């Protein structure tokens, strides 16, 4: 493994967060953490979905930040990232609507807050899906122009 000092890691982290993909993945991970906290407080069984979304967003953040995607060529990272974003966009929208309507007239605020934050997270995942589709289309057009 490459030796990375704390300052070089911090520089990579800061520079990656300044990119569009870095901001999206960081927002996905932080929103998933907030949703996880709300669902945990309300004892919801949907915590597993938020844990998975947070874990995968953080993992992809680390993979893309360290350029591991360029070294591990046997995985098609764009398609893997696309599937992750689509699945969690759909999960968040459906689960958040269920949480909001199920707890609409009850006193606890945590399920409603988790539902609202989950809808926002679903929108962020959907936007991530949109940006990935743009990249997939541009890479396909480049391959067609090269003749691959």
pLDDT means per 10 residues, the chain with 148 residues, are: 66 86 92 90 79 92 86 86 94 89 69 87 95 87 63
Please tell me the predicted confidence (pLDDT) of residue 55. 94
State the pTM of this model. 0.82
| Rounded Cα–Cα distance for residues 68 and 91 (Å) | 27
Query: Whose CA is closest to 64, among 22, 5, 33?
Result: 22
Q: Any alpha helices (H) in the chain, and if so which ranges?
A: 6-17, 20-41, 47-65, 68-71, 77-102, 110-146
Query: Whose CA is closest to 117, among 30, 51, 24, 31?
Result: 31
Half-sphere exposure of 38 (CA within 13 A, CB side): 24
Cβ-based burial of 114 (10 A; exposed 0-12, middle 13-18, buried ≥19): buried
Q: First vs last Cα of the chain: how many Å apart?
A: 33
| Rounded Cα–Cα distance for residues 129 and 82 (Å) | 6
Cβ-based burial of 3 (10 A; exposed 0-12, middle 13-18, buried ≥19): exposed
Please tell me the predicted confidence (pLDDT) of residue 91. 93
């Amino acid at each position: 493994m490459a030796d990375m000092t704390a300052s070089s890691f911090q520089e990579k982290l800061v520079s990656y967060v300044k990119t569009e993909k870095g901001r999206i993945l960081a927002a996905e991970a932080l929103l998933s953490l907030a949703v996880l906290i709300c669902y945990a407080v309300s004892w919801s069984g949907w915590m597993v979905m938020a844990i998975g979304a947070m874990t995968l967003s953080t993992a992809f953040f680390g993979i893309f930040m360290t350029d591991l995607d360029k070294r591990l060529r046997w995985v098609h990272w764009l398609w893997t990232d696309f599937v992750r974003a689509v699945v969690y966009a759909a999960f968040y929208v459906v689960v958040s609507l269920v949480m909001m309507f199920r707890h609409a007239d009850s006193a606890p605020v945590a399920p409603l807050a988790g539902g609202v934050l989950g809808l926002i997270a679903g929108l962020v995942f959907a936007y991530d899906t949109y940006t990935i589709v743009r990249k997939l289309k541009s890479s396909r057009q480049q391959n067609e122009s090269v003749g691959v």
